[in-house]
Amino acid sequence: MDRRHFLSTLALTSACSVRRTKIQPPAAPYSGRRLAPVNVSNERIIRTVTGLRPFRPSGFVVRTESVEGKTIVHNYGHGGGGITLSWGTAHLAVEQALPTNARRMAVLGAGAVGLATARLLQEHGVEVAIYAKDLPPATTSNIAGGQWFPFGVFSQASASPAFLAQFVEAARFAYRRYQLMVGDYYGIRWMPNYVMDREPIGDGGLVDRRSPIADLLPELRDLAREEHPFPFPYVRQFDSMFIQPSIYLEAMLREFRIAGGTVLVREMHDLREVLDLPQAVIVNCTGLGAKALFNDAELTPVKGQLTILLPQPEVEYATLPLGDLYMFPRRDGILLGGTHERGNWDLEPNREAEARIVAAHAEIFRGMRV
């Protein structure tokens, strides 16, 4: 399923491919917002990075179990929505942890989900220790594009009504929390997005006003041909928040420590090591690590790849064109994506995919009117 198909089905599934489509320039005249084109060329590539998204077709897990007298609250399996939903699923997990009345708790993992969970626990007066294999900037969250958009979180055919209700609750809580954090300190800003295609953009997805979270995408509307500069006949815009992981995760870890939190760099190899921790309540935010630690057979990697160009400060918008392509501008560079390879554990960059993604974006931005 590609990104365009995802956007045209009811909420909330996973995506995957890039397809070649001949691009025709839109009709003149252009009277809309002036947007600087991205300068795409191989000479401007500064790095290509890969990461493994922790995906479960039925969606993320937030639930509690008791093992040998320990309370374990699970909070993992966010697919491509880890940063987006982190505060929301942290809220759900904390609601399950607090009734234990424990004043000391452990959090496993120091990515976006683990840090948000730890901070919410601290705000409730809990003494928190984070145990993590890696710390920022070495976490999977640091590889993410960082757009607030709950994409690739689950497969529609596998998600239950109960999960969908939980998904909406998590999305709404996270959306409110991130609004309070907009600014340079956390590296969060609002930005317009443009979904575009050669074919009509179907109704019924996240970018449809009938979506249960459509109100979380302000300025959601279709643009007339003269209102946009892109070489596509169909364009839909919406605004979203963008989180720059390198700034955001560093700020979160700093605040956790200022609030008295303890960080221990320690890899957990099996459940026995988890149960031997001194805390009676443990919140599991290990992402893909939960597959081995807690024997989750449904959890699978979805490999993602981003090619990053030299920064262009004048580019202040994001694009979501043609299947699985996307462009996100950040201070550290222009991100060109992407890939969604389910079941692929290989972290080596795919150079064929890199060439295809770069060439497709170059064609798009050459066709922009300025």
Q: Each residue of 130-142: pLDDT tens digit? A: 999 999 998 989 9
CATH number, domain containing residue 254 = 3.30.9.10
- Residue 21 pLDDT exceeds 60: no
What phi-psi label fits residue 323: left (phi over 0), alpha (psi between -120 and 50 degrees) or beta? Answer: left
Total domains present in the chain? 1
- Given pLDDT bands bounded at 50, 70 and 90, which one contains residue 180? very high
Determine how many CB atoms are found less than 10 A away from the CB of residue 348: 8
- The answer to whether residues 34 and 359 touch, using CB atoms and an 8 Å cutoff, is no
- Give me the pLDDT at residue 306, please: 96
- Give me the pLDDT at residue 295, please: 96
Condensed to tens digits (0 to 9), the pLDDT of residues 123-166 reads 999 999 999 999 999 898 998 999 999 989 999 899 999 999 99
Condensed to tens digits (0 to 9), the pLDDT of residues 264-275 reads 999 999 999 999
- Give me the pLDDT at residue 204, please: 65
Give me the mean pLDDT over the 296-304 stretch: 97
What CA–CA distance (Å, rounded) separates 253 from 290?
22
- DSSP 8-state code for residue 173: H
Most confident option among 205-219, 272-286, 315-329: 272-286
- The answer to whether residues 64 and 71 touch, using CB atoms and an 8 Å cutoff, is yes
- Residue 7 pLDDT exceeds 50: no
Burial class (CB in 10 A: 0-12, 13-18, 19+), 267: exposed
- Give me the pLDDT at residue 117, please: 98
pTM: 0.91
203-234 per-residue burial string, b: 16 or more CB within 10 A, e: under 16? eebbbbeebbebebbeebeebebeebbbbbeb
- DSSP 8-state code for residue 26: P
Nearest Cα to Cα of residue 13 among 150, 147, 144? 150
User: Number of H helices and number of E strands within the chain?
Assistant: 8, 15
Give me the mean pLDDT over the 75-80 stretch: 97
- Residue 322 pLDDT exceeds 90: no
- The answer to whether residues 199 and 22 touch, using CB atoms and an 8 Å cutoff, is no
- The answer to whether residues 326 and 297 touch, using CB atoms and an 8 Å cutoff, is no
Range of the domain at 225: 1-370
Q: What are phi and psi of 13, to 5 degrees?
A: -135, -165
- Give me the pLDDT at residue 24, please: 56
- Given pLDDT bands bounded at 50, 70 and 90, which one contains residue 324? confident
